[in-house]
Chain A
Amino acid sequence: MFKSITRTIAGVVAAACLSMLAAGLSGAAYAKTKLTMYYPVAVGGPLTKIVDGMVADFMKQNPDIEVNAIYAGNYNDARIKALAALNSGQPAQLSVMFSIDLYELIEQDAIVAFDDVVQTDEEKAWLKSFYPTLMENGTTGGKTWGIPFQRSTIVMYYNKDAFKAAGLDPEKAPETWDELVAAGKKLTKSDGSQWGMMIPSTGYPYWMFGALAMQNDQVLMNGAGNETNFAAPATIEALQFWKDLGAKHKVMPEGTIEWGTLRKNFLEGKTAIMWHSTGNLTTVKKKAGFDFGVAMLPANKRRGTPTGGGNFYIFKKTSPEERSASMKLIKFMTSPEQSASWSMQTGYMGISQAAYDTSELQDYVKGFPYAAVARDQLNYATAELSTYETGRVRKSLDDAIQAALTGSKSAEDALKEAQATADRLLKPYR
């Protein structure tokens, strides 16, 4: 017994030595460029497998580059892990991180602008090949810092069966705030068994609010990330409207609505309309026991939604070879073919017109037109809330929204307080 254990250990040690020797030899022979990349997954499903598959395909095409793709949890975890790796002196070369982490990463001097990495004219043209709206969260100060990868918008899911039962045209989703309220009143049952609509107000309240404010023709911040417009009259009006949906029109439950359970509420028919990320599209498609529709968000003064999701960043502490290898990888991952297959497998949107021009995605959209709603809505979209001190600024807005929705403060007071907090935080950056 003991002898066999010793023998096993000896065998393992010998094998380890051999493999190390082999690794050393092959390293000397090829001098591969090694890349470490962190990436987050924010919605359910087998997304890690899809990313790993894409990376494996890339390595097959580029045998001189070795990519170590590390799944790093949600957006928050990915940022923490990548920054911790940077601080500990074992930096990753590139990562997918939240598009709104931009200012934080610039402030920490962690990332390099793509304008300083691209060399050829072809690469410069590549920088301009994406939907401009998706670039908004990745550019500041005239430079591009992030390349869109897993991107989304907010869309309106609605229950066509409930629409029919309430005497509404199931092929025509509400297009304005007034229509939304009117439809909501018809859809809301007085016994509380079905609500007209739900807009989630936990998790990412600022994101949903970005849509309402944009529909009222008001963006929440400037392009330099150092001014917010929380107390602008149109912003206050937008929050008042959100609050009125519950308090005045009674088409939505009062108080805050949970992000995590909203999809179940919709699938169980407790609400006829929900606003949610396109990232839910595939799941809703698979699980809905009724006929459902997907539409653009309604308009007040105009249509509007913020974009969301993750961008590619290249870190600053990288050698020229690592940067060009990273560029190769990013160009591969964001190519029209890869972006199209990524979009079909996940529900995230294709990031360039060229992706939607591929025959695969065109066929898919023909069979399932709702897959293109997010793309069409891009014409009306704006950047997601992102500023310097972004965590605190975002939280002050989140708190204001929740305070107004739960009735502990008026919309005006809450937003004025949030604006005062944001002003105090952002003063040093002006």
Chain B
Amino acid sequence: MHHSIEVDQLSFSYPDGHPALVGVSLHIAPGEKVALVGPNGAGKSTLILHLNGILTGQGRVTVCGLEVGEKTLGRVRAAVGLVFQNPDDQLFSPTVYEDVAFGPLYQGLGSEDVAACVTSALVAVSMQSYARRVSHHLSTGEKKRIAIATVLSMNPEVLVLDEPTAGLDPRARRGLIYLLRDLPVTMLVASHDLRMVSELIPRMVIMDEGRIVADGPTVTLMKDENLLEAHGLEKP
């Protein structure tokens, strides 16, 4: 059995020479839910963008048994559902339906399969009635749910979310936490919302300055106030 995500000694520098990732290694088993925390600029988003080959650095990234590279890019992107921090980036079609249908349509599925994928994705985020709405006019919480549906429609093995609770009101945040809790997929969640992390995610990885500085059970790491403080985090 392969791991869902295997990252070995990954290093990456931005074109201006600033090193964003330095020798990062991370293994995530199928079905596992892992939180990625750390201060702004720690390299969380950069790491996430490596998981589906949008960025490529030195080192090895294997996702669902596929080594990320030129040839596997299409398969990798279907296997890893990436939900961006800003749902506006993710919703680029005129209507919710077309946005959710983008992934399956791109993969070349028949129209009946596409419709089935879209419906089940919208049901999974409890937004069935929004299919004909205009994405642009939704609230942030609704956009966030639709953004998750746009990747669920591709039936990904791994769901990667960047700051899923950012900018949500308490009710929308609560709803999203329940939604993430009930989704039966491997999940990597980058977040500053440590309350959500301690409630929802059993394993926590702390990143700072492009390195992984701690990796362990959320309960244990959350107790170590010195560690949290040293890396710009606060015990919830």
Partners in one complex: no
